[in-house]
Structure 1
Amino acid sequence: MSVAAAQRTTEERMPALYLSHGAPPLADDPVWPGQLAAWAATLPRPKAVLMVSAHWEEAPLALAATETVPLVHDFWGFPEHYYRVRYDAPGAPELAASVRKLLRAPGTPVQDIPDRGLDHGAYVPLVEMYPDADVPVLQVSMPTLDPVRLMDIGRRLAPLRDEGVLIIGSGFFTHNLAALRHTGVPSWSAEFDDWGRRALADRDWDALLAFQDKAPAGRYAHPRTEHFAPLFVTMGAAEANGGLGERKSVIDGFWRGLAKRSVQFG
């Protein structure tokens, strides 16, 4: 860590983020990597990152490797150089111990999967935000896609924000790959993104929790809900500290037809 970076590490409460993570070709986009890098530069430097990715569903809730292990290249049909990407961030065993204490309770076990590396929902955005790979990272699974239960997990993780931990829910604001066309933004993606923008601005949390039924094209924008689900972990972590009222869309627009809206709470 550089001296400047060390000086920016802070004890103040960290925000909680929901970001659209993109696919491996995000690295080649002329705009989006710079947006993620600029966002990270505005944040207090985290002591560690706790990542909840759309690409890891595991029940009971699982903690990934607490030491550096190879990445999970969980995608198919891409050029070979995307499979050679490395992100050797330090593990976070102390954070893992804290997460176990906060989440483990009778009827809610926490398991360890020590050889599970970061998947692309975790490392693709982190490569752009913290390219030196010098911030410890712990990935945890989503044991459910139920918004209410995910918000409860976020609430229980909220104390970590006061310990310098950046909680990130990593998904995609719209995600229906089967319905994408080669050019343009599909109407279902634009309509859902506009609805989500207004729901966040209006603090309509109940509508967001019921997004598949409340949003126009809700079931088309998310035929399966795993890419919107990490938002609710972020919202829970923000709500527990009174941070839901402080929210802003930091990144918006579209990437290959999908809404890349990304939100900061607190």
Structure 2
Amino acid sequence: MPARMPALYLSHGAPPLADDPVWPGELADWSASLPRPTAILVISAHWEEAPLAIGATRSVPLVYDFWGFPERYYRVRYEAPGAPGLAESVRRLLRTPGTPVQDIPDRGLDHGAYVPLVEMFPEADVPVLQVSMPTLDPRRLLEVGRRLAPLRGEGVLIIGSGFFTHNLAALRHTEVPGWSAEFDDWGWRALAAGDVDALLDFERKAPAGKLAHPRTEHFAPLFVTMGASEGDLSSGRSVIDGFWRGLAKRSIQFG
């Protein structure tokens, strides 16, 4: 029987993550502490598509969804096997008469998926499937995660990939902006307390919520992960914390 897997929310970093002296090792140590998954299911901040879309189920070229970087970042490859069986399970769990699921068979992994996976599973020998975020509504994403939760018992590692704070204005700072530190502290305390209502309404209830996330997409994958935790937020632990270029790289494991 496959091991029951945790559900992860990770701050995925930009392509230069590979050059950071600390962060790649943190991700590698994290994956080394996990049971070996039968497959990986990724929901990334960088793919919004409605209705929910299932990406490639075979190895296809990556999506280099960034610009202005040195050429070497566009030469990265991550040729993980596809996961057609997992795709069928996702369809079964999510498709209802009022909730269609579509397939985009040529859509490869974007950098929210492959950048951390290169560090966590560098052999690219675990099947990977990416699905889209069909909405930015936290409550609806929580329900998506709840429906996907049974996959954990089949050995599937569910990863919500975003960034705990994400305002690119921070990249102009040499120190951590106050709003980034305040939101990071508030968010982790809310998670540790299991305060789902506050997190769902983070734009109004969090300090500097609109500064930390001018748009919701990088916080949104957290709600899929929370749903996949099956309500057991008490099992959450912060595996990675600190800041990268002013942004909170906090990453959390449930289960």
SS at match of 1:30: coil
SS at match of 2:172: coil
Matched, 1:28 2:19: yes
- 2:233 paired residue number: 244
**1:55 is matched by which residue type in structure 2?**
H
- 1:265 paired residue number: 254
User: What RMSD over aligned residues (CA atoms) do the two structures have, in Å?
Assistant: 0.9
Give CA deviations for 1:197-240 in whole Å, capped at 9, x if unaligned: 1111211111111111111000110010000000000000102x
Larger CA deviation: 206-215 vs 251-260: 206-215
- Pairs within 5 Å for 1:180-259: 180-239=171-230, 242-259=231-248
Please report how far the alpha carbon of residue 42 of structure 1 lies from its aligned counterpart in structure 2 after TM superposition.
0.5
Give CA deviations for 1:126-182 in whole Å, capped at 9, x if unaligned: 000000000000000000000000000000001100000000000000000035423
Please report how far the alpha carbon of residue 125 of structure 1 lies from its aligned counterpart in structure 2 after TM superposition.
0.3
- Pairs within 5 Å for 1:29-108: 29-108=20-99
Matched, 1:165 2:156: yes
Cα distance in 2, alignment partners of residues 253 and 89 from structure 1: 29
Cα distance in 2, alignment partners of residues 179 and 244 from structure 1: 29
**1:22 is matched by which residue type in structure 2?**
G
- Pairs within 5 Å for 1:148-159: 148-159=139-150
Cα distance in 2, alignment partners of residues 165 and 245 from structure 1: 21
8 Å contact from structure 2 (residues 170, 247) kept in 1 = no
Q: How many residue pairs get matched? A: 255
TM-score normalised by structure 1 residue count? 0.94
Runs of 4+ in 1 over 6 A off after TM superposition: none
SS at match of 2:166: coil
8 Å contact from structure 1 (residues 180, 186) kept in 2 = no
Cα distance in 1, alignment partners of residues 144 and 221 from structure 2: 11
Cα distance in 1, alignment partners of residues 193 and 229 from structure 2: 16
Cα distance in 2, alignment partners of residues 200 and 25 from structure 1: 29
SS at match of 1:44: coil
Cα distance in 1, alignment partners of residues 233 and 4 from structure 2: 14
**Percentage of identical aligned residues:** 82
**2:80 is matched by which residue type in structure 1?**
A
SS at match of 1:134: coil
Gapped runs of 5+ residues in structure 2?
none
Please report how far the alpha carbon of residue 254 of structure 1 lies from its aligned counterpart in structure 2 after TM superposition.
0.1
Matched, 1:117 2:85: no
Gapped runs of 5+ residues in structure 1?
1-9
